[in-house]
Amino acid sequence: ADTEDVLATFEIIGRKNNEEALRSYIISMSKQPSDVLAVALFMKEMANGKTLPIVPLFERLHDLDRSSDIIDRLLSIKGYRDLINNKQEVMIGYSDSAKDAGLLEYLLTIYVDEILMVVLKQVH
């Protein structure tokens, strides 16, 4: 989504009374911490104090390889941890990654990433 779409989404969320209509805000093709931080800023500025869990979706093999570093960098920011109430949901895509690298490398990458995410949870 482009910036205007994201801003409009959070403006609508800010005007509506029912925060439970949306469960989370998923960022497709997440590649770097700034993808998540930009959405966090837009939500803070436009959603009238309402918040949603921000969920990065890592879909490409390169992004999966970097996902634990990206999450670690995000969780090292106190303001971000406060915003998400110390709870980070992450989505891991499979279709693009399996096409990029082949099934075996993809499965190994997913396995390693899951272990690293558990370690990050314990660290933060």
**Hey, which of 36-50, 92-106, 109-123 has the most confident mean pLDDT?**
36-50
**pLDDT 10s digits, 61-73:** 888 888 889 999 9
Across residues 41-48, what is the average pLDDT? 89
User: How many domains, the chain?
Assistant: 1
Range of the domain at 79: 3-123
The mean pLDDT of the chain is: 83
Distance, in Å, from the CA atom of 120 to the CA atom of 23, rounded to the nearest integer, reads 23
**pLDDT 10s digits, 93-110:** 766 556 666 776 767 777
